[in-house]
Structure formats: structure tokens, C-alpha cells
Amino acid sequence: MLGYVTIEKPELKMREFELYSGYYCGVCKSISARHGQIPRFVLSYDAAFLGMVMAGVNGDKNEVSREHCIIHPITEKTIVRNKSIDYAGDVMLILAWFNLMDDVKDEGKVYAKAATTLMRGKFEKLSKAYPELVDKIDTHITALSALEKGRCRNVDEVSEAFAKIMQAIFTLDGRERPDDVNEKLSALGYHMGKWIYLMDAWDDIGEDIANKTYNPLVYRHWYKDEEEYQEFRDRIRANVEFNLFMYLDQMGKAADALETGENSSIIDNIVHMGLLRQTEKILRKGMPKEEPPIEIEGK
């Protein structure tokens, strides 16, 4: 469900892109150094965004270096290190653990069973380091799983469970902050969770219909077998689009209210441009190519 949170690269300055890439590579290096080589493959660019937001609000000082890595053995890459980058890496592993456990319970996949054996000790350490976060994620993932298994027709109710997971991730890093800052982080995480869940539902709707697997949009809008797939998408598109842009607006307001220091311009790029472009891309899947793209202000 992760992977939608990206930059609008053409709108970034070179030094901004270098810093953003340094955060991404920094999370990868952090996972490798503290948890081993295998877990680093759970990394996504969502982690770079989380690290940048948390480092900005926490006032972390960056330790910057140029290093080689397994993926780039010849060219040195910029690496950024700080406490929030470590936290972002830990969150990726926590989410990966719960995803693996879901695969084990629902599908009994052999690879998932093997992976949980390898990761169990690491997850137990992370549970001790972030007890409240892990407890919250566990609670809301359990609620989400129950709603999905019950074929819940209420999209808001199902996405609420995922939104609360993201809300916890953006507030329960174990660092002390003023209440008003945590409220803004809470709003950012909550609306991002709503946006991600709905984006994923729209993105997977064709595959879910073909495989007869649960998708909240299929149940919410009463898809019928005799209805053409494209007709169904056309019928519900306006509703989905309205909600996606509403969540984007709320994310933007929350992000704009945060003080994130030198990371602010990159966070602004992601929230106001990158997520908008991703929304446009996913909404346009299966649409005529001549349809004009969404205009980004300032371009």
C-alpha cells in the first residue's frame, strides 16, 4: 500500500534533490547498519518523506557523508544520518512485519513464514523501543483486517483504520514536542492515511474485480457482474476524485502549518506537487491519453 509518496523532481533544485536522495539512502544505510542487509529491501520513498518531516519538526542535525553501497558500488552517494532517519527505517520494518503476519494468516505463504522467522528477533526489539506505536498499529491493523474480511461497504470506516495507523506513525516516535506540533503531525498523518488507502483502492480496482478480492469501492458503489469495468470506473470516478483532492487539501494545510527548517521546500514539493501528480496519474489509468493533465500551480 506504500509507494505513492514521491517528489515532483523537475520542480526541485539540484541541492534539494541531493538532500532528498540523501535521506532515502540514509534510511537504507540505517536499516543495514542496525538490522542487517535483508530488511533494507522493505525501503520505499515514503520513508524519506517521513524522515524529512520528523527531522524537520524535531530539529535534527544532519550528519552528511559520501559513500558507496551494494546497489551503487562504483558511484558514491550522498548519505544523511539523524535520529529521525533511524525512526523512519524502524517504521518500515514494523510495517513489513505486520504485512508478513497478514500473509501468513490469510494465505499461508511459505516465503512469509520464512521471513517472519528471520525478522522475529528484530521486531521484538522494535516492540520494546516503540511499545505505544507498535500497540497502536497492531490495534488498528486488526480493526482494518476485520472490516475488510467483513466486506465493509463504508469506505470512510475502512480507511479510518488505516488513517489511524499513519496518525500513530507521525506522532509516536518517542520524541518530546509541543502539543500543537503533535496535533499538526496528527492531521498530516491522518489525511495522508485516508489518501493512501483510497488511492490504493482505486489503483487496484480492476485487479480486485478480476480476482474477486475485497475492494471497498466495489462494495460501496454496488458493482454488478454484468456492468462493464470501464462504465463502473466512470460512474464512481467523480466521487473518488472529490475525496482524494479533499484529503490532499487537508494534508497541505497541515504540512504548511509545520516548521520543518531546511526540509520545508522539499516537503512542500512532495505535498503540493508530488502527491498531486500521483493522484492525477492514478486517476487517469485507463482514460484517453488526450485528456489534459492536472496543472500544478507555479509551473
Alpha carbon 95 to its chain's center:
10
The predicted structure's pLDDT at residue 75: 86
Read off the pLDDT of each residue in 163-180 and give the average, rounded to a whole number.
97
List pLDDT tens digits, range 225-282: 778 888 899 999 999 999 999 999 999 999 999 999 999 999 999 999 999 999 999 9
Q: Is the pLDDT of residue 125 over 80?
A: yes
The predicted structure's pLDDT at residue 62: 95
Beta bridge partners of 79: 65
**Higher local confidence (pLDDT), 276 or 71:** 276
Residue in the structure block whose three cell numbers are 486517476: 283
Asked if residues 130 and 174 have their Cβ atoms less than 8 Å apart, the reply is yes
Asked if residues 273 and 251 have their Cβ atoms less than 8 Å apart, the reply is no
List pLDDT tens digits, range 144-167: 999 999 999 999 999 999 999 999
The predicted structure's pLDDT at residue 119: 85
Decide: helix, strand or coil at residue 66.
strand
Domains and their CATH numbers in the chain? 9-283 (1.10.600.10)
Residue 213: half-sphere exposure toward Cβ, Cα within 13 Å: 10
Joined grid coordinates for residue 179: 502539543
The predicted structure's pLDDT at residue 290: 45
Q: Is the pLDDT of residue 186 over 70?
A: yes
Q: Where are the alpha helices (DSSP H) in 78-130?
A: 83-107, 110-129
Read off the pLDDT of each residue in 182-201 and give the average, rounded to a whole number.
97
Q: Residue 10: CB partners within 8 Å, gap ≥ 6?
A: none
Of 3, 6, 5, the residue nearest 192 (C-alpha):
5
Binned at pLDDT 50, 70 and 90, residue 291 comes out as: low
The predicted structure's pLDDT at residue 299: 45
